[in-house]
Structure 1
Amino acid sequence: MRFSKIFLLLFVLGIIISMGMTNAFGHGLGSEIMLPVMLGSKFVTLEVSSSQIPDTETREVSLNLFDLDTGITLKDVTYFVIAKKGNEQLFEGTFQRDDGILLMYFVPTGSKQVSVEEQSTDFFGSLVGPNEIINVKGSTFSSGGLYSFKIIITTAESYSNIISPAINYDVGISIPDRTYYDVNDVNFGRQQLSVISYYDLINDDFSYEPLMKKVRYSMPFDWSEENIKQTSVMHQELIVPKTFGDLMVKSLSANVNDLSVADDAITIDDFSYEYRIVHLVLSQNELLQISNELQNPSNKIEFAMMPMEANLPLSTVTGNGQFRINLSWEPQNIESGSKTRFLFDIMDIFLLDRPISVSYDLSIIHDGEKLFQKSGVSTDSKTEHNTIEFLIPNYVTGPIMLQFENLDENSLASASLPVVVNRIEPNQLPTQISVPSWVKNNAGWWANDQISDNDFVKGIEYMINKGIIKTDDTPSGSDSSQKIPAWIKNNAGWWSEGQIDDKTFVSGIQYLIKVGIIKVS
């Protein structure tokens, strides 16, 4: 044991000598243990950690100077701290800690002015934690991002023990920040995506490209080698609702500043019943490699995530985390009034996604109506798929849901995957649309059941006559008794409120007329 401790100390000393530096750096994580330094006859190091206080919006950041050999926190430590967020200095101050632990609470408030208040803990709190807390309050703490700290330690083990030269650390701590984005998709309707960044705040340039099914966004980033060597890892999360079928494919790829990254940089977490979490993690070496390949690096890092070249199969995991389900179909374009052959595999995650023979219940649902149901036992063959054939009713268009339940007779083993009937491709959308306001008002009233289907159809007929909606084969006759899917009314309401643009809504109506779902004279 003594030999191993001596070896560790010599190893660390070798690192310090070889780096030839007195300052230590770290960037971009929620926790950092800094490079050890000599203090008298011992090696000491600083741990900087950050975490969310449960059930609050308050974030805590703690500094702890400890003996590397024993793990014991040093007493009587004096910290001088300068804190910044981006280029804005938040506060600076000198803090003495008898117990050696500096604990700061970042508290979001409505004030743009940052205030710093020291608070003593009660007797019982001091038994399990630090004696004092620094409350730092301001509106800037309502969002996450990259916080940088200049930390200078001037005393340790005794306030009379002045450290010369002082221990100097530059630390970057990332506080996760989540931003939400509404995507109005012509096939799957309104979907809310979100991004969690573990580095810095996202720029205001998030976009979804329906043709490539690609998500794009960027955030500030310094591509210099000096900065990257302070960045241990770059971690981003894209949160996708499982109702957005185009992003529920088995495999996704990623680009950074238009350069491809390795497939293993992306990990898909489908263990939530409602959401898919796509992790994009880049190591320091990968960031350096990208930096070397960039000709003229900008001051931002640009992310793009999209399906791999093959858009199928779709894939998800059951709510109990035991089974993975892959789904594909033939033909690729599912149309009303035609037969579709669905192919699916049920695999055991704990057996490394090996196909497994289990009982299941399968339903096909459209607008809350169960169109099809079947109970069966899946195959464990690696070369054969489970299949069903289904005749899509003439009135069905838009998203349908394949719902798997009671796998292996477990009520928690369920999952759903969405597919689209009568898919509208982005290149089928009209280039420019201008719709009179009264037509949009009619759509809103119709969505709220204030006018009849016939009144709504009059607005559609007007758009056809004016060439706003173009269709060659329009079924004749206005039929108010026809079954119009509920999602059309939802879209009409969103359109009237400006949540769906004219082009998207009109193209959807145009297709519904073409396939006979909506009939006009």
Structure 2
Amino acid sequence: MYKEFFPLLLLIIFPYPNVYGHGFGSDTISSIGVEDREISITVTTPMYLDNSKNNTITIKATDEESKKAIKNLTLLIGMYHKNEMIFRNYFFSPNGEINLNFIQSEQKNLEIIGKKNDFLNSYIASESNPTKIKGPVFETGGLYDFEIKIRTIGDEKNVIEGPSYSANVSIADTVSFTETSSKDQNVEFEVKSYFDNIRNFEYLPDKNTIEFEMPFEWNAKQISHIPVVHVEVHIPKDFEEFLTPSYIGKVNDVKLFKSSLTVDDYSIEDERIIHFVILQDHLKYIQNQLEETNIHQNKMKFTVTTSDEIDFPIIAMTEDEEYRVDLSWEPLEIQPGESTKFIFTIRDGETGELLRNSSYDFVLIQNGEDIYRKSSNVQIGGGFEKYKFSEDQTGPTIVRFENIRGTDYQTEFGIVVTPEFGSAIAIMLITSILLIYFSRTKLLKLR
């Protein structure tokens, strides 16, 4: 359930610009001058598609000064996906909120069902009486573009002549891919985009690299509308050749800032999620690098490559950021038969200050079962635990701190215990917390 809240956190951490705020699930066109007032129009779509039920789009017009809805609103609305028009019609609402109820069906042609207003032949699409649009509308997620033109406000016969405006809303698009590992085994990958559709996915085992593409226009006007581009790459936790301490991310061969790539091993039990979270200033940086090539580019080419670099300490936060645990270990390469020291501190999640006299349960988990558990207390807010793994205790291992300071809060990390002559080094499986609450502290650290 936690994974569904991460995009909502993005809406909070990275608020959309006031004008043409390109959004995930919502977009607002602000400061539209109509007669003697300033109007804003907000388009809201489902964030996730669910073809088992109807999906609703609302378009609401508001007076920016009074914050009241615009009465007797008529809009010319065009909806487009992948440069193809889905519909373009007049819609009317007496209360300023146009509601379009989409019914997914296999019929070939789109059907608009609803009562019509005699004036401008517009469909009545109020909250209590929404217009139904039936057909193959939301077959995939991605970027949906809306053309909006105001035709009446205040009085249903008060016709307005003015320009068209654009709103752009992203609906999460999830695509699965089957690729071959270096051992010729099939591996299931999944990519979830909160911006546009993913294409040309490929895993390159000889380079330990994942590549994929997404449509994107690299120009200042486009980027000014976009507060963040967010894409998730899901990989199985048992796919050990791609489980490394960290990753190197690139877009169009431009290396990303550390803060643009975040790892989450907590949201889904059997998957690691690698998040590309590229903020507007990072997009501008990439654009500047691309301009030096003098080659027009209309896509984002994402690459993520394994890396053995570890930046200690690894930081994890409890669910509501109440507590923070910093962890490192030595030796860096964890092998059976050798004692490993896990060094940690327990801190205030907001201030980062050490929390003295902190109780905790230190737990090591393999294959879903506890292999070691110890309850203890640190007087100065930090300490260490030692453990020697046996020869049969190799592979992915979760390091968990439970019942922190007598509460139900916990944090998780992970390691890979390698055989004595294994080529891999011990790695961090869980750098992260619940990503719905991934911390500002961590973002500042990674910057």
TM-score of the aligned structures, taking structure 2 as reference length: 0.71
Identity, in percent, stands at 25
Deviation at 1:132, TM superposition (A): 2.5
- 1:80 Cα shift? 1.6
Secondary structure of 2:349 counterpart: helix
> Could you tell me which residue of structure 1 aligns to residue 25 of structure 2?
30
Q: Which residue of 2 aligns with 1:457?
A: none
Aligned counterparts, 1:242-321, within 5 A: 249=245, 254-266=249-261, 272=267, 274=269, 279-294=275-290, 295=293, 296-305=295-304, 310-311=309-310, 313=312, 315-318=315-318
Q: CA 1:332/1:289 → structure 2, altered by over 3 Å: closer, same or farther? A: closer
Cα distance in structure 1, aligned partners of 2:42 and 2:318 = 39
Q: Which structure carries more helix by proportion?
A: 1
Q: What residue is the counterpart of 1:505 in the other structure?
A: none
Structure 1 residues 147 and 351: alpha-carbon distance in aligned structure 2, compared to 1, 3 A threshold: closer
Q: What are the superposed Cα offsets for residues 222-256 of structure 1, whole Å, 9 maximum, x if unpaired? A: 2234433444432334456777786585x665322
Instruction: Supply the AA of the counterpart residue of 1:203.
Output: R
Q: How does 1:53-72 map to 2 (within 5 A)?
A: 58-72=54-68
With over 3 angstroms needed to count, the CA separation of the structure-2 counterparts of 1:367 and 1:74, relative to structure 1, is closer
Bigger CA radius of gyration: 1
CA distance in 1 between partners of 2:180 and 2:361 (Å):
32
Which of 158, 164, 169 is the equivalent residue of 2:155? Answer: 158
8 Å contact from structure 1 (residues 52, 58) kept in 2:
no
What stretches of structure 1 of length at least 5 have no aligned partner?
1-23, 121-128, 427-521
Partner SS for 1:141: coil
SS at structure 2 position matched to 1:281: strand
Q: CA deviation at 1:148?
A: 0.9
Counterpart among 85, 89, 94 of residue 90 in structure 2: 94
Cα deviations by residue, 1:92-119 (Å, 9 ceiling, x for unpaired): 2222222222112334334454333237
Instruction: Report what 2:197 is aligned to.
Output: 201
Is contact 1:319–1:415 with CA below 8 Å preserved after alignment?
no
Q: In 1, distance between residues paired with 2:178 and 2:346?
A: 33
- 2:130 is aligned to 133
Q: Is the CA contact 1:270–1:316 (under 8 Å) kept in the aligned structure 2?
A: no
Q: Does 1:169 align with 2:168?
A: no
What is the letter of the counterpart of residue 131 of structure 1? S
Q: Give 1:412 shift.
A: 4.5
Cα distance in 2 between the residues matched to 1:370 and 1:44: 59
Distance in 2 (alpha carbons) for counterparts of 1:197 and 1:32: 17
Q: Distance in 2 between matches of 1:269 and 1:400?
A: 15
1:145-186 deviations in whole A, cap 9, x for unaligned? 10111122222222221212x341122111122334567878
Indicate the residue corresponding to 1:388 in structure 2.
386
Structure 2 contact 215–298 (Cα < 8 Å) conserved:
yes
Structure 2 partner of 1:420: 417
Higher normalized contact order (CA 8 Å, seq sep 6+, divided by chain length): 2
| SS state at 2:46 partner | strand
SS in 1 for 2:138: helix
Find out whether 1:42 has 2:37 as its counterpart. Answer: yes
Write the letter of the residue equivalent to 1:65: A
Q: Amino acid of the residue matched to residue 129 of structure 2?
A: E
- Residues 282 and 66 (structure 1 numbering): CA distance in 2 closer, same or farther, change over 3 Å? same
- Matching residue's letter, 2:301: E
Aligned-pair CA distance for 1:52: 4.8
Amino acid at match of 1:260: K
SS in 1 for 2:66: coil
Tell me which of 103, 114, 120 is aligned to 1:118.
Answer: 114
Cα-to-partner distance string for 1:381-401 (whole Å, 9 max, x where unaligned): 6xx7513031x3233443334
Q: Give the AA of the match of 1:344.
A: I
3-state SS in 1 of match to 2:79 = strand
Q: 1: CA distance between counterparts of 2:60 and 2:172?
A: 22
CA distance in 2, matches of 1:234, 1:247: 24
Alignment equivalent of 1:407, drawn from 387, 404, 407: 404
Question: Higher mean Cα deviation, 235-244 or 58-67?
Answer: 235-244
Distance 1:170 1:414, change over 3 A: closer
User: Which residue identity does 1:89 align to in structure 2?
Assistant: M
Which residue among 95, 109, 116 is the counterpart of 2:105? 109
Please, what is the CA RMSD of the aligned residues? 4.0
1:454-481 per-residue CA deviation (whole Å, 9 max, x = no partner) reads xxxxxxxxxxxxxxxxxxxxxxxxxxxx
Closer, same or farther in 2 for the Cα pair 1:153/1:368, shift >3 Å?
closer
State the aligned residue count.
388
Scaled by the length of structure 1, what TM-score is found? 0.62
Corresponding residue of 1:18: none
- Which residues of 2 match residues 448-487 of structure 1 at below 5 A? none
Tell me if 1:73 matches 2:50.
Answer: no
Q: Secondary structure at the match of 1:293?
A: helix
Matches within 5 A, 1:1-16: none
Residue of structure 2 in register with 1:375 after alignment: 375
